[in-house]
Chains A and B, each alone.
Chain A
């Protein structure tokens, strides 16, 4: 029967957001549909509040978490993941005039904004323990505080920052280069119950298939001006 593929009910444009008519749209949604088609799965896109998304999976209210969930060792201990279906670089952004030294352990006294429970939050806490780290419920809130001057830096997904930098509030700021860390290589995958090995196999098939067919690139172009995925080996 139908596979329930769930995005997070909190909008995260351009990956998944609600349009005015109540339909879920965005990069991840298109991707999910394409993957299901390629994997010969009959899928239905649903949305679940982030707070309830893992219990929804374990209690079988949904079958796949498709909500920009980064693959980490901790999470892998609880649930299974598909192979990554996107992997965007992390970027620091800040006021155009400001300069920073990104050596580990530096950024003392700087205020850095990150989104709660992201890989970025985890990274800054480890790499820059002396910085003043603020975590936000939404990326937009962090961006707004950067624009308002309450933050010195924001670390986030390049894709999520792109929109902001292009918008009128983002004119203040630009991207600062910093040494890349392997922690960002995990990528984002679909979350599954550990026992659903069949489903995992089919989804992995599907992801590989759309990379191969070029469909991935088509969808990518629709939303981004740069690459967000690395084809699986």
Chain B
């Protein structure tokens, strides 16, 4: 549930707590009312026009690294495994 997408803050109006975020060339106005200390350059998770939370770059990289590691381990063991389909 709860469609949300990460976008980068490119501008903040401190008076209104409204920010401009950018996502793949699209700019959108969102409210920062739900997050503290968001800065220009931060990535925030956008949901119904609000930033829900900041994203952690570090954690994202660690997750990706872990995924690569989990996959690689396997890839060496069972190259080309083809699990059967089930809908």
**Interaction A to B:** no
